Amino acid sequence: MTRPLIYNAFVMNTASHITHGLWRHPETRQRDFNQLDVWTDLAKLLERGRFDALFLADVVGLYGNYRGGWETYVREGLQIPSNDPSVLISALAGVTENLGLAFTSSVIQAHPFEFARRISTLDHLTNGRVGWNIVTNFQENAHRNFGIDGLTEHDERYRHGEEYVEVAYKLWEGSWEDDALLRDVTGSYSDPSKIHKINHAGERYSVEGPHLPSPSPQRTPVLYQAGASAAGRAFAARHAEGVFTMAADRETVRSIVQDLRRQAVAAGRHADDLKVLQGLTFVVGSTEEEAWRRDAELDQYLSIDGMLAHMSGAMGLDLGFSEHDEPLTELAERVPGVQSIVQGVIDAAPKGTRATVGDLARVNARATRVTGTPEQIADEIELWHEAGVDGFNVMYAITPGSFEDFIDHVLPVLRDRGLAQREYGPGSTLRERLFPGNGPRLPDRHPATKQRAIWEYGPTALDTAVATR
């Protein structure tokens, strides 16, 4: 069964998320992110627009240094201050009925027993509308915040992630049998013979169990992942149902999609078990002239330092020691590790001009921005779909205005083209909406479902039982 494209709102419970400086825009509510009605109003707006989900990004530490320190992040409101997204989700559950509610949580920030319990609680309270973005975390400060002395080596972080999800899968899928919860007023509330301790003993975790919540509507939440490295893609191919990309062009995303689907099949899954979602920001105008006027207005609020600071943290290079007007060719000579990132900006500079470090920030701010009339934006969305993506993480310039414009003007055009849903599909869970006809639980080919062997063989014989299936 096919379905229209997927649309998530990509947000963060902070003042400045992706496009920095725009919290100063007079029409945005993002700087008031501590106020609950900012989020409940947004959730209701997205549900009116039949968005599939509201997705909350998160960090648990500062990015790397900019100009030798972290002060710029604070001045720019660059993901500090920020709040716990899972707490916010519990509030949004009460004002929505259909909207998926997904959030990021790193494997370093919560013990898997506690985290699995929190997810199951949220999945119960939302009637199965919860998703989890699995991250291993690349921020040194985040690791030190949780008592880890420095950043763990890249591939080792994904090995950590493998054990983390294994523990969570055992709790969600293996601890309670489907009919263990009785609620028999004349007898037992639950059947102890059908609830199992998991007795996990691994390199990092020792968890006896059992899982304390009863099975939630989805058991395991919808699983997202955004790793772009070879290890990250391999992890996503094994585990993810939704994969986030921020590709700069359609040919790049085409290659990413093909690689992910190939690896998913090699891991014993189906190619369409993965939904690939590209991040884009849309600037909408009733005419092309109006759209570009609004686009230029947004750039007046753009913070070059904010953009460069965010890039510095992601790249592991401090760009703050460069002046904004320094030619990029000089930066590339001085910092060899930046060459591949800046070359495209250098090559794209108009004839007779030299691209600068400030241009690098401006190009990065525009890399995933689409500006035009509703019809032009719909055309662009069709081209991305033809490149292989299944939907979009819709990012905002100002909120809720960016979402209002997309919902009121672009989505009607997309619906007429069969590229957006008019009503929510059958089923009440997020998984059923994303994968029509597959039911609320993970398919048997997903590795998490192998943990159900605990029901049959017990945890001590689990490895042998799974290997012989």
Q: Are residues 346 and 403 in the same domain?
A: no
For 352, counting Cβ atoms within 10 Å of its Cβ (0-12 exposed, 13-18 middle, 19+ buried), the class is exposed
State pLDDT tens for residues 146-205.
888 877 777 888 899 999 999 999 999 999 999 999 999 999 999 999 999 999 999 999
Q: Give domain status of residue 296, yes or no.
A: no
State pLDDT tens for residues 248-290.
899 999 999 999 999 999 999 999 999 999 999 999 999 999 9
What is the reported pLDDT for 459?
64
Rounded distance, CA 31 to CA 158, Å? 34
Q: Are residues 189 and 212 in the same domain?
A: yes
Contact status, residue 309 vs residue 320, Cβ threshold 8 Å: yes
For 9, counting Cβ atoms within 10 Å of its Cβ (0-12 exposed, 13-18 middle, 19+ buried), the class is buried
Last-in-domain residue among 365, 394, 413: 365
Beta bridge partners of residue 54, listed in sequence order: 9, 101
Q: How many residues does the chain have?
A: 469
State pLDDT tens for residues 279-331.
999 999 999 999 999 999 999 999 999 999 998 888 778 889 889 999 888 88
Q: Are residues 343 and 416 in the same domain?
A: no
Rounded distance, CA 461 to CA 463, Å? 6
Q: Are residues 381 and 440 in the same domain?
A: yes
- Which domain does 308 fall in, by range? 304-365
State pLDDT tens for residues 195-226.
999 999 999 999 999 999 999 999 999 999 99
What mean pLDDT comes out for the span 108-129?
Answer: 97
- Inter-CA distances, 147 with 137, 152, 294, 326, Å: 14, 12, 46, 39
State pLDDT tens for residues 61-85.
998 899 999 999 999 999 999 999 9
Q: Are residues 403 and 322 in the same domain?
A: no
Rounded distance, CA 225 to CA 134, Å? 5
Q: Give domain status of residue 1, yes or no.
A: no
Confidence class of residue 466 from pLDDT cuts 50, 70 and 90? very low
Q: Are residues 123 and 207 in the same domain?
A: yes
CATH number, domain with residue 271:
3.20.20.30
Q: Are residues 227 and 83 in the same domain?
A: yes
What is the reported pLDDT for 70?
94
Q: Give domain status of residue 439, yes or no.
A: yes
Q: Are residues 335 and 266 in the same domain?
A: no
Checking if the pLDDT of 469 tops 50, the result is no
Mean predicted lDDT score pLDDT of the chain:
92
Query: Regarding predicted confidence, which is higher, 134 or 350?
Result: 134
Q: Are residues 347 and 376 in the same domain?
A: no
Q: Are residues 41 and 130 in the same domain?
A: yes
Contact status, residue 58 vs residue 103, Cβ threshold 8 Å: yes
